[in-house]
Structure 1
Amino acid sequence: MAASAPLPLARFRVIDLTRVRAGPTAVRQLADWGAEVIKIEEPVNAATETEMGGVRLGPDYQNLQRNKKSLTLNLKSEAGRTVMHRLVRQADVVIENYRPDVKHRLGIDYDTLKAINPRLVYASISGFGQDGPYARRPGYDQIVQGMGGMMSVTGLPGSGPVRAGIAVADTSAGLYCAIGILIALLDREATGQGQWVHTSLLEAQLAILDLQAARWLVAGEVPVQAGNDHPTIIPTGLFTTANGPMTLQVPGQLMWERLCKALERPQWLTDPRYRTNRDRSQNRAALNAEINAILQTEPREYWIEKLNAAGLACGAVNTVDQAFADPQVRHLGIAWPVRHPQLGDIQLVGQPIHSSRYSPCVRNVAPMPGEHNDEILAGLGLDESELQQLRSEHVI
């Protein structure tokens, strides 16, 4: 963990009420860029702490929950809510991803907390939105991938719906939420007022359909599975070389002409099956077969070097370990080295954003339950006798 100058979000205090993935993804963006994040968790006892400790030492938890402080707090108790309200007076942001009705039952909804701190930015992530016919349904990434159309366009043609290999709905909802929070903080600088920003897994999933959604909304086309082929840019896809697969994408007529030259197939330029992108789309299988026949004559490294030199986009198909071993990935430094007190030397997935002024890093590994209880509560002015009472009542 490298020391650095104060990061740009260091002046903000964030109360983190999130769980699972979408919420922690949003909070991580703020934490990595310097915000003081206080993660609120339920108090644990000896039996559950061992179980939670095991989970906390896993890759996913360590990656999601870094750069945070942990405060155990029973929000179902009056004393716990009192502490929460004292925290809110000093906070800039509260983030939660409960089902929409839960925050009202706990008395930590936006209207309640706004009355305590009008400058508060309150952010929510839900499965399906804060209201509407599905608002109270439980929502998880795979459910939303299905409902939001993602599974219908993922996979090989005719294979049936396929889940994407990453949590696209969760992750995108977290990133959209972080953007919303930053927008609200910028607005607060001008107005002095906080606000409630919220998104949902379903909305985020539909938003990142992007070109596929636009095909339906603008042109009335219902996208279908295209497998490794691009739905509209041909040739684009997975091709076989003498020693393994590679990807190739040829957008536009100029790039098509470059490919014909690089593969020494000038006749393709006048072949009525391939002259335009529309022609190539109608004859995709035949064209792919011809390209494959050529690429299979040489190893992948040969073609990547030759085609890149011609200004064409192509690359290897890597496993995750191969991707992180790639020299460009190593150069970018997105695998952050961390010294963990229990796990030793590990690496976490770093920020993909570079700044000419700031260098975010892992300042603190994911905390254990209540690791920062005394520090945080003493900062609120509670003395040792008050802390002891909260412990004895299992509030913290």
Structure 2
Amino acid sequence: KISMFGAMADWMAVPLLRYDYGGAKLPRTGLSHPLIQPYGAYATRNGPPILIAIQNQREYLRFCNQVLEMPGLIEDPRFRDNPARCENVTQLKGIIDEHFQGMERDALIARLRESKIAFGEVNDVEKLSAHPALRRVETNTPGGLVSMVAPPACTDEKHDALGPVPALGEHSEAIRAEFS
């Protein structure tokens, strides 16, 4: 089985290691989708952004009716279907931004849950580092023991330990010999 959280944590391994061992938070690069709208991170009145993913027309109807409480958006020609929403994403994002910025984060999360709309809480690398679902494994490096994100795939709830990280140039001769 594959842990989706583990897969995302693995995807964040470089920024996470930078934070854990260098104390630096790398800047965000955005969370959006070019072919599905609305899809992206939206700010609320308080707290970190919420990522929403409306993946079909049925979800869009629920989103407009139950989350935004704006049924008029359903028949608006600019947002009637996904191709139109993608074409008019700036206007749609503006409407959603304005609405969500007036909502408390917990209230939005409750509405999204009740409406069965896919969402995620956007955390920074500091919260990822402290997340209770983050699994780690330790491995040896020339500089000492390091805690790494565990591989996301696992069998029988056991995870193979990572081998030691080689020192710079440690295997250079063997690699040169192999490819000469």
- Same-fold call, TM cutoff 0.5: yes
Partner SS, residue 33 of structure 2: coil
2:175 corresponding residue in structure 1: none
Q: Secondary structure at the match of 1:241?
A: coil
Is 1:251 paired with 2:52?
no
- For residues 94-136 of structure 1, what are the alpha-carbon distances to aligned partners after superposition, in whole Å with 9 as ceiling and x for unaligned? xxxxxxxxxxxxxxxxxxxxxxxxxxxxxxxxxxxxxxxxxxx
Matched residues, number: 143
Following TM superposition, by how much is the alpha carbon of 1:341 offset from its aligned partner in structure 2, in angstroms?
9.6
Displacement after TM superposition at 1:339 (Å): 7.8
Show the counterpart of 1:234. Answer: 37
**4+ long deviations beyond 4 Å:** 337-342, 367-371
1:347 counterpart SS class: strand
Map of 2:95 onto structure 1: 290
Residue 300 of structure 1 deviates from its aligned partner by 2.7
Q: Do the aligned partners of residues 366 and 266 (structure 1) sit closer, same or farther apart at CA in structure 2, a change above 3 Å counting? A: same
Residue 311 of structure 1: how far off its partner (Å): 1.5
Aligned-pair identity in percent equals 29
8 A contact 2:139–2:163 mirrored in 1:
no
Higher relative contact order (CA 8 A, sep 6+): 2
Unaligned runs of 5+ in 2: 1-16, 19-27, 171-180
Distance 2:85 2:168 in 1: 58
Match of 2:124 among 300, 310, 319: 319
Correspondence for 1:310 among 112, 115, 133: 115
Q: What residue identity is the alignment partner of 1:361?
A: D
Corresponding residue of 2:159: 360
| Pair 288,363 (structure 1): closer, same or farther in 2 beyond 3 Å | closer
Q: In the TM superposition, what is the alpha-carbon distance from 1:235 to its structure 2 partner?
A: 1.0
Cα distance in 2 between the residues matched to 1:270 and 1:230? 23
Q: What's the C-alpha RMSD, in Å, of the aligned pairs?
A: 3.2
CA distance in 1: counterparts of 2:143 and 2:168, whole angstroms: 15
Change in CA separation of 1:305 and 1:338 when aligned onto 2, cut-off 3 Å: farther
- Aligned partner of residue 247 in structure 1, secondary structure: strand
2:42, 2:142 → 1: CA distance? 45
Give 1:354 deviation, angstroms: 2.0
Distance in 2 separating the partners of 1:275 and 1:369:
57
Deviation of residue 342 (structure 1)? 6.3
Judged with a 3 Å threshold, the aligned counterparts in structure 2 of structure 1 residues 321 and 337 are, in CA distance, closer, same or farther, namely farther
**TM-score, normalisation: structure 2:** 0.64
Q: CA 1:342 to 1:287, structure 2 compared with 1: closer, same or farther past 3 Å? A: closer
Counterpart-to-counterpart distance in 2, 1:369 and 1:229: 38
Counterpart residue type for residue 56 of structure 2: G
Counterpart AA for 2:160: C
Separation in 2 of the partners of 1:228 and 1:279? 20
Distance 1:282 1:343, change over 3 A: same
Alpha-carbon shift at residue 297 of structure 1 (Å): 1.6
Residues 152-163 of structure 1 correspond to what in structure 2 (within 5 A)?
none
Q: Distance in 2 between matches of 1:273 and 1:326?
A: 40
Cα distance per residue 1:120-172 (max 9 Å; x no partner): xxxxxxxxxxxxxxxxxxxxxxxxxxxxxxxxxxxxxxxxxxxx97xxxxxxx
1:343 CA drift (Å):
3.5
Quote how far apart the aligned CAs of 1:228 are: 4.2
> Residues 250 and 256 of structure 1 are in contact (CA less than 8 Å); yes or no, is this contact kept in structure 2?
yes
Q: Deviations over 1:294-321 (max 9, x none)?
A: 1112233332343133211222222222
Shift in Å, 1:338:
5.4
Alignment CA distance shift 1:338-1:305 (3 Å): farther
Provide TM-score, normalisation by structure 1. Answer: 0.32
Equivalent residues of 2:142, 2:167 under 8 A apart: no
Is 2:39–2:51's contact at 8 Å kept on the other side of the alignment? Answer: yes
Structure 1, unaligned stretches of length 5 or more?
1-58, 61-163, 166-226, 372-396
AA paired with 1:250? I
Report the Cα distance in structure 2 between the residues aligned to 1:355 and 1:308, rounded to whole angstroms. Answer: 31
